[in-house]
Amino acid sequence: MKQKDKSTEAKILEAANKVFVEKGLDGARMQEIADEAKINKSLLHYYYRSKDKLFSEVFQKVIKTFLPDTVKIFDSEKSLFEKIETFTLEYITLLEKNPFLPMFVLHELSQKPIKITDTFSGFFDNLKQNQFEILKFQIEKEIQNGIIRPIEFDQLIVNIMSLCIFPFAAKPILMKLFFGDNKNQYKNFADKRKIEVADFVIHSIKVKN
Amino acid sequence: MKQKDKSTEAKILEAANKVFVEKGLDGARMQEIADEAKINKSLLHYYYRSKDKLFSEVFQKVIKTFLPDTVKIFDSEKSLFEKIETFTLEYITLLEKNPFLPMFVLHELSQKPIKITDTFSGFFDNLKQNQFEILKFQIEKEIQNGIIRPIEFDQLIVNIMSLCIFPFAAKPILMKLFFGDNKNQYKNFADKRKIEVADFVIHSIKVKN
DNA sequence: GTCTATAATGTGATAGAC
DNA sequence: GTCTATCACATTATAGAC
Average of pLDDT values for A160-189?
A: 95
Does B77 share its domain with B12?
no
Q: What is the pLDDT of residue A128?
A: 56
Does A109 share its domain with A146?
yes
Backbone angles phi, psi at A78, to 5 degrees: -70, 160
Does B104 share its domain with B54?
no
Q: What is the rounded end-to-end Cα distance, in angstroms, of chain B?
A: 60
Does B72 share its domain with B160?
yes
- Name the residue of chain A whose CA is nearest to B148's CA: A203
Does A21 share its domain with A101?
no
Contact B200 A103 (CB under 8 A): no
pTM of the model: 0.94
Range of A175's domain? 67-205
C-alpha A66/C-alpha A59 separation (Å) is 10
Q: What is the pLDDT of residue B77?
A: 85
Does B80 share its domain with B154?
yes
What secondary structure, in 3-state letters, does chain B show?
A: CCCCCCCHHHHHHHHHHHHHHHHHHHHCCHHHHHHHHCCCHHHHHHHCCCHHHHHHHHHHHHHHHHCCCCHHHHCCCCCHHHHHHHHHHHHHHHHHHCCCHHHHHHHHHHHCHHHHHHHHHHHHHHHHHHHHHHHHHHHHHHHHCCCECCCCHHHHHHHHHHHHHHHHHCHHHHHHHHHCCCHHHHHHHHHHHHHHHHHHHHHHHECCC
How many beta-carbon contacts under 8 Å exist across A and B?
A: 143
Q: Is a pLDDT exceeding 90 seen at residue A77?
A: no
Using pLDDT thresholds of 50, 70 and 90, give the confidence band for residue A111: confident
Q: What is the pLDDT of residue B3?
A: 46
C-alpha A173/C-alpha A86 separation (Å) is 28
Does B187 share its domain with B94?
yes
Q: What is the rounded end-to-end Cα distance, in angstroms, of chain A?
A: 60
Does A114 share its domain with A148?
yes
Among the candidates A60, A76, A97, a domain finishes at A60
B189: which chain A residues are within 8 Å (Cβ-Cβ)?
154-155, 158
Distances (CA, A) of A56 to A40, A50, A112, B27, B199: 20, 10, 12, 17, 40
**Does A165 reach chain B within 8 Å, measured CB to CB?**
yes
Among the candidates A45, A60, A75, a domain finishes at A60
**Does A128 reach chain B within 8 Å, measured CB to CB?**
yes
Would residue B12 count as lying in a domain? yes
Average of pLDDT values for A35-43?
A: 97
Chunked into runs of 10 residues, chain B (209 residues) has average pLDDT values of: 70 97 97 97 97 96 88 82 96 96 96 58 64 89 97 97 98 91 95 98 93
Using pLDDT thresholds of 50, 70 and 90, give the confidence band for residue A198: very high
Other CB atoms within a 10 A radius of the CB of residue B183 amount to: 9
Would residue B3 count as lying in a domain? no
Helix pair angle (B153-169, B101-111), 10° resolution? 110
Residue A81 or B122, more confident: A81
Does A78 share its domain with A102?
yes
Q: Is a pLDDT exceeding 70 seen at residue A6?
A: yes
User: What's at B160, amino acid-wise?
Assistant: I
Would residue A170 count as lying in a domain? yes
Other CB atoms within a 10 A radius of the CB of residue A111 amount to: 21
Does B82 share its domain with B161?
yes
Does B49 share its domain with B149?
no
Residues 20-49 of B with CB under 7 A from strand C: 28-31, 41-42, 45, 49
Would residue A2 count as lying in a domain? no
Would residue B184 count as lying in a domain? yes
CATH number for the domain harbouring residue A181 = 1.10.357.10
Would residue B125 count as lying in a domain? yes
Number of independent structural domains in chain A? 2
Q: What is the 8-class DSSP label of residue A77?
A: S
Q: What is the mean pLDDT of chain A?
A: 90
Distances (CA, A) of A109 to A54, A144, B81, B207: 16, 37, 35, 40
Would residue B1 count as lying in a domain? no
CATH number for the domain harbouring residue A28 = 1.10.10.60
Q: Is a pLDDT exceeding 70 seen at residue A123?
A: no
A31 CB inside 7 Å of strand C: no
Does B104 share its domain with B191?
yes
> In sequence order, what are the beta bridge partners of A148?
A206
- Name the residue of chain B whose CA is nearest to A113's CA: B172
Among the candidates B34, B60, B86, a domain finishes at B60
Would residue A3 count as lying in a domain? no
Say which residues have a Cβ less than 8 Å from residue B128's Cβ, sequence separation at least 6: A176, A177, A178, A180
Distance of CA A136 to the CA centre of its chain: 21
User: What's at A14, amino acid-wise?
Assistant: E
